[in-house]
Amino acid sequence: MNKFDRITPEGTRDALFAECTLRRQIENRLHGLFTARGYSEIITPTLEFYDVFNRDAQPFQQEKMYKLTDAKGRLMVLRPDNTVPIARVCATRLRDAKLPLRLCYNQTIYMVSPSLKGRDDEISQSGIELIGSDSRMADIEVIAAAVDVLRSCDPEYKLELGNAALFRTLIGQLSASETVKDEIRELMESKNYPALNDLLDTLEQNETVSVLRRLPRLFGGEEVFEKAASLCSCETVAAILSDLHDLWKAVTQFAGKEHVTVDLGMMHRTDYYTGMILRGYLSGYGEEVLSGGRYDSLISEFDYNVPATGFGVNIDAVVKVLSKGDTPAAELPVSNVLIWAAKGCEADAVSAAESLRAKGLIVEHSLSETQAEAHAYAAAHGIESVLPITVSKAQIQAEAGKDA
Amino acid sequence: MRPIRIALTKGRLEKDTVGLFEELGLDCTAVREKGRKLILPVGDGSIEVVLAKANDVITYVEHGVCDLGVVGKDTILEMQGKFYELLDLGFGRCKFALAVKKGTNFYSGYGVKTIASKYPNVTRRFFEAKGMDVDIVKIEGSVELAPLLELSDGIVDIVETGTTLKENGLEVFEDVCSISARLIANTVSMKLRQTELEALISKIEVYFAEKAQ
């Protein structure tokens, strides 16, 4: 039988040295950005019951979750998402907490990726959730935080806005079977213009159908709103569009027009969003690095009816972009001082090291047998100074005792 | 900024795409005289062509190392993945079909059928949609052999003219779906390089629209 004791499971890997440093820097920077906005960190378990993610809209495919059972045979999963567990916490332990709640997190999610596609099954995610407000200011606060995150990673970032209610309203007006509606959704998401046209041709032609035909092509800068204005006489759609336009105007004021785009056909795979949706892109990474939006009905599925909005950042993606695909050259920290202790002086070496570290130096103990070996080691590793300790305090005291 | 990179499926789709590019006025000399090179400049150097196997075209586009790709719908259906499928390029037309030995009725009897195919995912989805359990055997080479050797009751494969089927005593029993070459795009490239990509895409669309008239 094969023994898999030398490799990590597909989609997972070990991170070494410089990559860990970079990862920690990014996580700390994001944590700083979030706490400076009044967000408090929460940690939820890696293991959750399957039922937590088995939601009405089925945002998570069963076969994409890592599953196991607990001691009582109940089905559990490694969390595939951070927002749903936070919704669970809000509806239970934080039910009586004063609103709004500002929560941030930094933890891994797990999903089964198609094999041999070079994708990660374990993804570190950092993000915020603003719970308890359906105001425009709440969305803007979240978007502003997203802009800050992206800007701190790459000055050439792009932020994209959309609204999940747009498609939901249109598809609701359509008289077609659920299967056809699902198919339209899929084709819209993959911007499959030819197949979408073919499918829409088979339906009764009306205004909704012609809007759906145009929708996936409507992405880009402010001109999108002009093109969309004449699209539809439906008041609900017009209201959503003008709302999104107002949001766009506000966001461009602090983010700059060159960084903000809009995609009216934007759709998220995780389908619990109800309003504003956003995505962030960095050049050099083939997928979005940041995604989120407003989810006003998710927490109510846990019997606590509060609106919420937020986003998550894929830390692994950011690490990849910032290290330009390359692990940054292994710049391991070099110690300043190497302390070598003669036999019997080990305890003195420890206290000497402590006092040097207190001064901010990196101090390493020499593990060599002889002092000469310690010097050779220091030279080979670029350590500036060697401190030999050949006499212990006990010996000194003993000597002093003799003299007296 | 690096040129727009287009991954082309080596072989016929590559030739058809080069033909299309030349109709659009893009200089493809480098691709025509490629030798063993796999990355080649096109036109004024603002476009670069990468030659790859069909499955790899999707992989490169999905990861964003190529912005666009030309690949058959057959590969897309088999591989799936996350990308935009923007245009039906019209060439490379053929179909997926279920073929059986001449004169047999595939659906007769109560036994579980065995299907041989190079495209197990397409096959699985086709029969899943019918609510039918089948055993699928993946074959790499000439799938037509499987029913002849009585390994399978039928095959799901690409059919162009049907000559190979006929010569081996097989016939199309049912069409699965039609196939043609598609232009696909990486989802992020489409957003970050929208102007450049849309310029090229609309050029192709305009060309097709004019040709259709």
Rounded Cα distance between A165 and A294, Å, is 10
Residue numbers in A near B65 (CB within 8 A): 286
- Minimum mean pLDDT among A179-188, A296-305, A394-403: which range? A394-403
And the tokens for A157? 């970032």
Q: Are residues A204 and A74 part of one domain?
A: no
Domain with CATH 3.40.190.10 in chain B: 4-92+180-212, 99-179
Do residue A190 and residue B64 have CB atoms under 8 angstroms apart?
no
SS3 B188: helix
- Does the pLDDT of residue A329 top 90, yes or no? no
Total structural domains in chain A? 3
Provide the pLDDT for residue A386: 94
Please provide the average confidence, as pLDDT, over all residues in chain A. 90
In a domain, A7, yes or no: yes
Range of the domain at A177: 164-256
Residue numbers in A near B191 (CB within 8 A): 158, 160, 219, 261, 263, 281
In a domain, A372, yes or no: yes
Q: Average pLDDT, stretch A95-111?
A: 96
And the tokens for B37? 């090179």
DSSP state of B64: T
* Type of residue numbered A365: H
Q: Are residues A301 and A364 part of one domain?
A: no
Q: Are residues A170 and A147 part of one domain?
A: no
* Type of residue numbered B62: E
Do residue A219 and residue B191 have CB atoms under 8 angstroms apart?
yes
Provide the pLDDT for residue B125: 92
What tens digit of pLDDT does each residue of A288-324 get? 999 999 999 999 999 999 999 999 999 999 998 888 7
Nearest by CB to A283, which of B81, B192, B194?
Answer: B192
Question: What is the band of A270 on the pLDDT scale with cuts at 50, 70, 90?
Answer: low
Angle at A124 between CA A121 and CA A127, to 5 degrees: 130
Residue numbers in A near B192 (CB within 8 A): 158, 281, 283
Q: Are residues A211 and A194 part of one domain?
A: yes
Residue numbers in B near A284 (CB within 8 A): 64
Which residues pair with residue A389 across a beta bridge?
A341
CATH number of the B99-179 domain: 3.40.190.10
Q: Are residues A397 and A380 part of one domain?
A: yes
- Minimum mean pLDDT among A186-200, A319-333, B138-152: which range? A319-333
For B4-92+180-212, the fitting CATH number among 3.30.70.2190, 3.30.420.40, 3.40.190.10, 3.40.1800.10 is 3.40.190.10
DSSP state of B201: H
- On whether the CB atoms of residues A53 and A45 are closer than 8 A, the answer is no
Provide the pLDDT for residue A331: 62
Q: Average pLDDT, stretch A201-206?
A: 87
Q: Average pLDDT, stretch A22-41?
A: 96
Nearest by CB to A285, which of B64, B84, B185?
Answer: B64
For chain A, say whether B177 makes contact (Cβ under 8 Å): no
- Does the pLDDT of residue A326 top 60, yes or no? no
Q: Are residues A149 and A179 part of one domain?
A: no
Question: Among residues A332, A360, A392, which one ends one of the domains?
Answer: A332
What tens digit of pLDDT does each residue of B169-193 get? 999 999 999 999 999 999 999 998 9
Provide the pLDDT for residue B186: 94
Q: Average pLDDT, stretch A76-94?
A: 96
Provide the pLDDT for residue A116: 65
Residue numbers in B near A195 (CB within 8 A): 85
In a domain, A266, yes or no: no
For chain A, say whether B194 makes contact (Cβ under 8 Å): yes
In a domain, A277, yes or no: no
Q: Are residues A52 and A147 part of one domain?
A: yes
For chain A, say whether B190 makes contact (Cβ under 8 Å): yes
Question: What is the band of A240 on the pLDDT scale with cuts at 50, 70, 90?
Answer: very high
For chain A, say whether B173 makes contact (Cβ under 8 Å): no
Q: Measure A219 CA to nearest chain B CA, in Å.
A: 8
Q: Are residues A88 and A138 part of one domain?
A: yes
Which of the residues in chain B have pLDDT under 70?
none
Do residue B63 and residue A286 have CB atoms under 8 angstroms apart?
yes
Give all strands of the β-sheet with A47-49 in edge-to-edge order: A47-49, A75-78, A67-69
- Minimum mean pLDDT among A11-20, A44-53, A131-140: which range? A11-20
Question: What is the band of A190 on the pLDDT scale with cuts at 50, 70, 90?
Answer: confident
Nearest by CB to B84, which of A117, A190, A284?
Answer: A190
Q: Are residues A311 and A249 part of one domain?
A: no
Provide the pLDDT for residue B213: 80
ipTM of the modeled complex: 0.73
Rounded Cα distance between A318 and A26, Å, is 8
Q: Are residues A222 and A318 part of one domain?
A: no
Q: Measure A280 CA to nearest chain B CA, in Å.
A: 10
In a domain, A308, yes or no: yes
Q: The CATH number of the domain where A297 resides is what? A: 3.30.930.10
Q: Are residues A238 and A295 part of one domain?
A: no
Provide the pLDDT for residue A2: 81
The count of other CB atoms within 10 Å of the CB of residue B113 is: 18
Q: Are residues A129 and A18 part of one domain?
A: yes
Rounded Cα distance between A236 and A228, Å, is 14
Query: Which residue, among B22, B65, B95, B25, has the nearest Cα to B188 in the 3D structure?
Result: B65
Rg over alpha carbons for chain A, rounded to the nearest Å, is: 28
Q: Measure A283 CA to nearest chain B CA, in Å.
A: 7
Question: Among residues A256, A272, A300, which one ends one of the domains?
Answer: A256
Question: Which of A192, A314, A318 should one mutate to test binding to chain B, selecting the residue with the greatest count of B CBs within 10 A?
Answer: A192
